[in-house]
Structure formats: C-alpha cells, structure tokens
Amino acid sequence: MPNNKSYDDELELLMSFLAESVTQMDDSQIKEEYGNGPKPRTKQILRAELSNLRTQKLRKARIEYESATRSLSSQSYDLPPSSSEQRAILSRILSRQPGLASLALTAQHRELRDLSDSDVESFLKQLAALGLLDPFLEGK
C-alpha cells in the first residue's frame, strides 16, 4: 500500500501522463476524442489575459495620476479664488517661462483658452507643489 505522500504523486503521475499523451495526438485524433464536447475557450482566455496585460500600464498610470491629484487636492495653496485670476497668473507664468508651456499645454490644448478652469487650477497647484509658483503670486 502506498504511503500518504505517494497518493498525491500517483495522481499527478497519472494526469501528467494523460496530459503528455494529448500532446502526441494529431489533429484528427483530437477532434475525434474531444470534438463533440463543449467548444474550447482557449483563445478567449488567452485574448482576455493579453487585453489585461495591455491595459495594465495604463491602469497603473491612472492610479498614480489619481493618487497625485488627490494629494494635490488635499493640500492648501495660496491661489487666487477666481478662475479668471488663476488664468491670468498662468498666462503670466507662460509668458515669462515659455518652457513650462509644454508641460501645461498638451497637443490637445495648444491654446491657454482651451484649458478648462480645473486644468488651470490643477496646473497651478502642481507648480505650487514644486515651489515654482511663489514668484508669480507675489506680483499678483
């Protein structure tokens, strides 16, 4: 009588043998033996995993972005309350530091007027978090 461990091993041995025997079967044998069963979901499973992997980076970036946004929102900044004043400060910053425009204005927002009020506020908060806003606020 086999000892306790070998029941596990025997089951594995038997099932592995059957698994390997499947790899030796040609297409017609496979269809004959398994063709009448449920339609295989292999492609569907592989596609789903690939889709999951493709979007993984995007999801990670989104989580990081949302976390950074939450962090910015939770801090208080000395920004002017009105959106027109905020927009004026941003305009002033971009005229003095044109290099920052590439950070603030994506390909979708080539013009400052295309930015929403919340985008303007968010960008000013990012500059404030980096300590770059104070010189511009002093002259507000």
Partner 1 sequence: MTDRNRDAKNEYATRGDIEQAVESLSSSDELRLEKFASYKTRGLGRKAVYRDHEDLLSEAIKSTWIGAEDPNAGRRWRNKDVSFVQHLLGAMRSIASHWKETVDDCEAKLDSDLTVETEDGEMLSPVENAPSDEPDQERVLIAKEQLAAIFRLFQGDDDAALVIEGIREGWTGTEIIERLALPKNRYEAALRRIRYRLK
What is the contact surface with partner 1 in residues (CB under 8 A)? 4-5, 7-8, 10-19, 21-23, 25, 27, 30-31, 33-35, 37, 40-43, 45-50, 53
Which H or E run includes 73?
Answer: helix 42-74
How far is residue 26's CA from residue 31's CA, in Å, rounded to a whole number?
A: 9
Looking at the Cβ atoms of 12 and 66, the one nearer to partner 1 is: 12
What's the min distance (Å) between Cβ of 59 and partner 1?
15
- What H or E segment, with its residue span, contains residue 113? none
Q: Are 109 and 119 in contact, with CB atoms under 8 Å apart?
A: yes
Give me the least distance between CB of 64 and partner 1, in Å please: 20
* Nearest distance from C-beta of residue 20 to partner 1, angstroms: 8
Residue 133's CB is within 10 A of a number of other CB atoms, namely 21
Residue whose CB is less far from partner 1, 26 or 111: 26
Q: Cα-atom radius of gyration of the chain, to the nearest Å? A: 30
Least gap, CB of 51 to partner 1 (angstroms): 10
Whose Cβ is closer to partner 1: residue 14's or residue 103's? Answer: 14
Q: Which is nearer to partner 1, 33 or 134 (CB)?
A: 33
Q: Work out how close the CB of 42 gets to partner 1 at its nearest, in angstroms, rounded to a whole number.
A: 4
Would you state the structure tokens that stand for residue 113, as one six-digit string?
A: 């007027």
Enclosing H/E stretch for 87: helix 83-96
Q: Which is nearer to partner 1, 27 or 138 (CB)?
A: 27
